[in-house]
């Protein structure tokens, strides 16, 4: 698996070729598509989620907390308080039907899927794989008690959706790292790092990058002076990232079919989304009719 790679400017790993299983293309997004994506973003109203809820309270030793950043999901919405999609056991009542991709994202996803099918061996692409789920992460600073607090990072984690993940970046570049282990006793060791630039596409897959290593966003630059659409009072957005993943459709659940407690937990979010989204206001209406 070799590909021409430009713009891999992570200092220590400034190489022409990326390791097998990784793909990066700077300037993936054309100027027209970028404008279309930005126009679409102007229509979205992301929300702040809490990690836990009444029916999924914090485990012992943990506290309720707000996520570090606002998010929006397409395809299906993995509410944090439903614990995210986590096969093999955590697959039920975690991925709630959400809005479809707009045409520009559907086109981008088609291209990303084509690239992934070229660069990964069939054993690294699960049966039925398609990038049908998108998490949109908003990175920036938040006004808290009169002070601007920067939360533009993501801690070490894995994406548990099966198969390759594709990631489209807009705005300021982000330092993205794969790290080998996390724990209180041993600090994370950086195995590979990469700046994710405005308009770039990254794809990572295979057991090495998906299952063995963690990944994180260490920091987001401020060099471009980017200001992106977020529609949020007291939150300034300088980077937006779309990660496209695969959740088998058999595991998507309709909001109205969630068990009562879980439905109660996510209803405030659905209600907030319904203020600006006909899809979510339709869900509330249908569910009230039942």
Ligand X SMILES: O=C(O)CCC(=O)C(=O)O
Kindly state whether residue 93 participates in binding ligand X, applying the rule CB under 6 A.
Answer: no
Query: How many whole angstroms separate alpha carbon 88 and alpha carbon 85?
Result: 9
Residue 45 or 153: the one with the smaller Cβ distance to ligand X is 153
In the complex, minimum distance from the CB of residue 169 to ligand X, in angstroms, rounded to a whole number: 6
Are the C-beta atoms of 79 and 262 separated by less than 8 Å?
no
Among 174, 226, 237, 273, binds ligand X (CB under 6 A): 174
Positions in 120-139 near ligand X (CB under 6 A): 135, 137
In the complex, minimum distance from the CB of residue 140 to ligand X, in angstroms, rounded to a whole number: 12
Residue 130 or 161: the one with the smaller Cβ distance to ligand X is 161
First to last CA, the chain: 52
Kindly state whether residue 196 participates in binding ligand X, applying the rule CB under 6 A.
Answer: yes
Are the C-beta atoms of 238 and 228 separated by less than 8 Å?
yes
User: In 3D, which of 224, 215, 209, 134 has the Cα closest to residue 170?
Assistant: 224
Kindly state whether residue 179 participates in binding ligand X, applying the rule CB under 6 A.
Answer: no
Residue 69 or 104: the one with the smaller Cβ distance to ligand X is 69
Query: How many whole angstroms separate alpha carbon 204 and alpha carbon 185?
Result: 28
Kindly state whether residue 217 participates in binding ligand X, applying the rule CB under 6 A.
Answer: yes
Positions in 253-282 near ligand X (CB under 6 A): none
Among 138, 176, 252, 269, binds ligand X (CB under 6 A): 176
Kindly state whether residue 215 participates in binding ligand X, applying the rule CB under 6 A.
Answer: yes
Residue 217 or 247: the one with the smaller Cβ distance to ligand X is 217
Among 167, 193, 194, 200, binds ligand X (CB under 6 A): 167
Calculate the alpha carbon distances from 4 to 18, 115, 119, 177 in Å.
9, 12, 12, 20
Query: How many whole angstroms separate alpha carbon 234 and alpha carbon 58?
Result: 27
Query: How many whole angstroms separate alpha carbon 159 and alpha carbon 165?
Result: 8
In the complex, minimum distance from the CB of residue 158 to ligand X, in angstroms, rounded to a whole number: 8
H or E stretch including 268?
helix 260-274
Contacts to ligand X by CB under 6 A: 135, 137, 154, 159, 167, 174, 176, 196, 215, 217, 241, 243
């Amino acid at each position: 698996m070799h590909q021409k790679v430009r713009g891999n400017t992570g200092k220590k790993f400034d190489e022409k070729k990326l390791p097998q299983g990784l793909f990066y293309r700077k300037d993936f997004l054309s100027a027209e598509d970028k404008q279309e994506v930005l126009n679409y973003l102007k229509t979205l109203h992301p929300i702040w989620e809490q990690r836990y809820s009444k029916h999924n309270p914090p485990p012992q030793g943990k506290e309720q907390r707000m996520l570090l950043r606002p998010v929006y999901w397409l395809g299906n919405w993995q509410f944090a308080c439903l614990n995210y999609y986590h096969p093999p056991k955590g697959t039920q009542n975690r991925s709630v039907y959400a809005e479809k991709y707009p045409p520009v994202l559907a086109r981008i996803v088609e291209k990303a899927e084509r690239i992934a099918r070229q660069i990964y061996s069939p054993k690294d692409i699960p049966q039925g794989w398609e990038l049908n789920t998108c998490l949109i992460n908003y990175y920036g600073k938040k006004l808290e008690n009169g002070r601007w607090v920067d939360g533009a990072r993501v801690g070490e984690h894995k994406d548990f959706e099966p198969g390759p993940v594709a990631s489209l970046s807009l705005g300021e570049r982000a330092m993205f790292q794969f790290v080998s282990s996390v724990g209180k006793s041993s600090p994370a060791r950086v195995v590979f790092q990469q700046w994710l630039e405005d308009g770039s596409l990254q794809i990572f897959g295979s057991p090495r990058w998906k299952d063995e290593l963690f990944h994180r966003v260490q920091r987001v630059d401020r060099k471009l002076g980017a200001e992106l659409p977020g529609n949020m009072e007291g939150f300034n957005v300088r980077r937006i990232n779309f990660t496209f993943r695969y959740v088998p459709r058999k595991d998507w659940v309709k909001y109205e079919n969630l068990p009562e407690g879980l439905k109660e937990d996510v209803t405030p979010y659905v209600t907030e989304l319904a203020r600006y989204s006909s899809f979510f206001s339709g869900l509330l209406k249908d569910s009230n009719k039942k």
